[in-house]
Amino acid sequence: MRRVLPVYGLSIGDLKVQGGNVRVKNENGDIAWAYSIKQHGKIGIAACARSATVYMKEVLRRLGYNVGHEMHGDDGSVGYHLAVVRPDGCFHQVRDPLKQISSMVAHKSWGFCQQATGITGFGLYSCMRYWLKWNKMCEEFCVWRYRIEHLPEIWDEFLERLGHEKCEMPDIPTNTNSHKEKYIDYTWDDLFNEDRQLAQDIYNKAVEYGYSVPDMDKTEDRQVLENLVA
């Protein structure tokens, strides 16, 4: 039987979610990947794909936790799959929308996300919809949210919420699992030109999450945004 993680497939045969249990079938109808909330463990960090979850897995392992990336570990799991598993006490890790969307456009593994959201296509518009939808899914059950770019500043709180004693933040390259493929670094201009209302919704959510974005209250930045949506 061919076993794959959901991240490895552009398409999958079938996705079923029932009561915290998730399974993926391959094109032959065999179960290729499964996750049970009963085996989850105490640590859960949910995020969009391409939001530094592999990096976070390495951070947690350096702290001594046996966590899986998109799979079970004795102490829990990290990955986008948790948005449909919805474990108790889960953290919500977010990444700057421009960075995540730029990376997601070059992503080759959409099957799981497509079936979980109904979003089709692999271009900029679909990736914009995905960032907004998947983060909203995480918001519905996660107990705490943080920006991955802000981890050094909230490190002590992160440890406290884990129930871990204070220690130095592990020195791990932040580009862990970065794409080998080159991709376009999209701008707010690109997002607004793609779809004005969707870009505005993403902009508003980015502000809510605490990201630095063009400030509509400042004259010079307001003019920039007015030009984008004109």
For position 184, what pLDDT does the model report? 83
Do strands 21-25 and 31-36 pair parallel, antiparallel, or not at all (unpaired)? antiparallel
Residue with the two structure tokens 């398409």: 11
Report how far residue 101's alpha carbon sits from residue 3's, in angstroms, rounded to the nearest whole number: 28
Query: Would you write out the chain's pLDDT as a tens digit for each of its 230 residues?
Result: 234 445 445 556 678 888 889 988 877 788 888 999 999 999 999 999 999 999 999 999 999 999 999 999 999 999 999 999 999 999 999 999 999 999 988 776 677 888 888 888 778 999 999 999 999 999 999 999 999 999 999 999 999 999 999 999 999 987 765 555 567 899 999 999 999 999 999 999 999 999 999 876 554 455 556 555 55
For position 209, what pLDDT does the model report? 97
37-186 is classed CATH 3.40.50: yes
Provide the CB-side half-sphere exposure for 31 (13 A, CA): 7
pTM > 0.75: yes or no: yes
For position 4, what pLDDT does the model report? 41
| Domain range summary for the chain, segments of one domain joined by + | 37-186
For position 81, what pLDDT does the model report? 93
For position 164, what pLDDT does the model report? 97
For position 3, what pLDDT does the model report? 40
For position 208, what pLDDT does the model report? 97
- Residue closest to 81 by CA, chosen among 114, 56, 48, 105: 48
Instruction: Give φ, ψ of 178 to 5 degrees.
Output: -70, 155
DSSP calls for the chain: -----GGG-SS-SEEEEETTEEEEE-TTS-EEEEEEGGG--SEEEE--TTSSHHHHHHHHHHTT--EEESS--SSEEEETTHHHH--TT-EEEE--HHHHHHHHHT----HHHHHHH-----SHHHHHHHHHHHHHHHHTT-SEEEEGGGTTTTHHHHHHHHT----PPP---TTTT--SS------HHHHHHH-HHHHHHHHHHHHHHT-----TTSHHHHHHHHHHH-
